[in-house]
Amino acid sequence: MKQGYEVYIGSPMFPIVLNVSFYLLLVTPFSIIDLFLYDWPIFKNYKILPDEYVTWPQVKNAMVLTLWNHLLYLLPISLAQWVWQPHLELPTLAPGLFEFFWHQIVALLIFDLFYFVWHWYHHYNRWLYRHVHSVHHQYYVCSSWVTQYLHPWELISVGFMTTLLPLLFNFHPFTNFCFMMFNVIVSIEDHIGYDFPWAPHRFGIGFWGGAIKHDMHHQKPLTNFQPHFNTWDRLFGTYSNHFEII
């Protein structure tokens, strides 16, 4: 990882910059599809709710709250981290293949369980739902910018868990960065509102979550609490894979 860029990659600010820039890079094309290309058959054929349209006021509202949260909460936290956390000493070698995948799998499984519990509790606790998680559920129709349309507590607490896991398991920095980016990919895929041909569940991965499952959650909020998979939802009877609105 030392190719002349270690002064940047080792900075405490790098994970924040990577996470935000990668998020913006991924949501932009889906925003263009939602606002300008939604009637193109190549996209509309895969729209989960084909009769529901994403409007510019909806996108703008989500963009404003996302920007507000990042400037008011994440930026001060990042600056504080820059002060107290030392510059990361990057290892010379990349992680071994087994180490890389083992750490990724463990982190995904633990985070998936943590978020399942967090998410379930923030629905069944009326105060937490009303004052925290209901912000995210203001959107009935999912779109990419809804991914981080969150109350600050939700953004910070879930982000803290994403950051804590690599520290607990002493991840290689490359493994940590990949874990962060994979979480961004999955979160956005959950909210895009399209079931594209490359979705993992289309390849026989029955335990995967995906856009259809999370779209169902926004319509039936007491179902489908897991972010990545559906095993815990199936075990506790909160899984739903259809679009019957009760």
- Residues lower than pLDDT 70 in the chain: 1-5, 86, 242-246
One-letter amino acid at 57 equals P
The residues, any chain, with a CB within 8 Å of residue 132's CB and separated by 6 or more, are 122, 151, 153, 154
Is there a contact between 222 and 126 (Cβ–Cβ < 8 Å)? no
- For residue 29, the SS3 value is helix
* CA contacts within 13 A on the Cβ side of 203: 7
Report the distance separating Cα 143 and Cα 164, nearest Å: 28
Confidence (pTM): 0.91
pLDDT in tens, 222-239: 999 999 999 999 999 999
Query: What pLDDT shows up at residue 113?
Result: 96
Q: Where are the domains of the chain?
A: 6-235
Report the distance separating Cα 176 and Cα 104, nearest Å: 8
Residue 125 sits at the vertex; the CA angle it makes with 148 and 115, to the nearest 5 degrees, is 45
Longest dimension (CA), the chain: 57
Report the distance separating Cα 219 and Cα 68, nearest Å: 26
The residues, any chain, with a CB within 8 Å of residue 207's CB and separated by 6 or more, are 229, 230, 231
Query: What pLDDT shows up at residue 245?
Result: 45
Q: How far is CA 109 from the centre of its chain?
A: 15
Tokens 């894979």 belong to: 241
pLDDT in tens, 163-217: 888 888 889 989 999 999 999 999 999 999 999 998 887 877 778 888 999 999 9
- What phi, psi does 69 have (nearest 5°)? -60, -40
- What's the sign of the alpha-carbon dihedral 98, 168, 146, 191? positive
CB neighbours of residue 202 within 10 Å: 12
Query: What pLDDT shows up at residue 3?
Result: 63
* CA contacts within 13 A on the Cβ side of 49: 21
